């Protein structure tokens, strides 16, 4: 079996995200608090066409400006025809800072988790009982590799006893994020890579990963 290229991996998740947004329409709720699908599309458009305008999405001094610009664009996308036009515009963009063709490995690092999480933000908000998508093992493996690089930052101080990720069937199957203090046992978060990603991205209630310890 031919391995998927970075471009193919990112494209598969980008297409899944666009399909979820198209099927949901502009006014559907998402797992991002306060955001409907129109806000998510606005965020994606700003992130890939005006990265400085979207820089405040994680907080900090630019947060107010980012919130204002996202809200303004979301208002413009509230009508179905404008929303579909915005979605078509997003599909035509060359990726974050045009990296899709210029730096596919960097594009993969920047966007694979982003696209996966936002796809599930739409799908699982629409139906809490929806089954996880069936992803190719190679996609799950790449999600796992990307998560391991960012897990310490994402875990923050939420797991004081320590945290170990367990993804049975993937390489390596166990990853220590935060080593436990002497005499303590780490908490163990177990699941498929995509479910672990959702949990550490703050979508605990929507994730099928299980936390023990």
Model confidence pLDDT, tens digit, residues 26-74: 999 999 999 999 999 999 999 988 877 667 676 777 788 899 999 999 9
Is the residue at 132 inside a domain?
A: no
Last residue of a domain, one of 99, 126, 153: 126
Instruction: Kindly state the average pLDDT of the residues 84-91.
Output: 97
Number of domains in the chain: 2
| Domain of 183, in residue numbers | 137-212
Q: Tens digits of per-residue pLDDT, 121-174? A: 999 999 888 999 999 999 999 999 999 999 999 998 899 889 999 999 999 999
| Distance (Å, whole) CA 123 – CA 67 | 23
Residue 2 has pLDDT above 70, yes or no: no
Please count the CA atoms within 13 angstroms of the CA of 54 that sit on its side-chain side: 16
> Are both 98 and 183 inside the same structural domain?
no
Residue 1, domain member (yes or no) = no
Do 73 and 12 belong together in one domain?
Answer: yes
Residues 96 and 52: their CA atoms lie apart, in Å, by: 11
Chosen domain end from 62, 95, 126: 126
For residue 202, give the CATH number of its domain. 3.30.1050
74 belongs to a structural domain: yes
Q: Over the stretch 14-32, which tens digit does the pLDDT of each residue have? A: 999 999 999 999 999 999 9
């Amino acid at each position: 079996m031919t391995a998927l290229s970075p471009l193919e991996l990112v494209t598969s998740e980008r297409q899944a995200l666009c399909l979820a947004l198209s099927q949901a329409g502009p006014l559907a709720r998402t797992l991002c608090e306060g955001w409907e699908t129109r806000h998510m599309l606005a965020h994606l458009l700003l992130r890939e066409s005006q990265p400085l305008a979207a820089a405040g999405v994680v907080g900090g001094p630019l947060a107010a400006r980012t919130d204002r610009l996202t809200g303004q664009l979301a208002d413009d996308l509230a009508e179905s025809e404008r929303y579909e036009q915005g979605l078509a515009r997003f599909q035509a963009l060359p990726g974050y800072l045009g990296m899709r063709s210029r730096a596919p490995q960097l594009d993969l690092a920047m966007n694979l988790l982003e696209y996966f999480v936002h796809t599930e933000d739409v799908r699982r908000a629409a139906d809490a009982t929806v089954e996880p998508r069936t992803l190719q093992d190679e996609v799950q493996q790449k999600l796992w590799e990307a998560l391991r690089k960012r897990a310490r930052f994402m875990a923050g101080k939420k797991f004081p006893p320590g945290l170990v990720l367990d993804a049975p069937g993937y390489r390596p199957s166990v990853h220590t994020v935060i080593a436990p203090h002497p005499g303590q046992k780490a908490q163990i978060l177990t699941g498929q890579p995509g479910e672990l990603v959702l949990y550490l991205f703050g979508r605990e209630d929507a994730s099928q990963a299980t936390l023990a310890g």
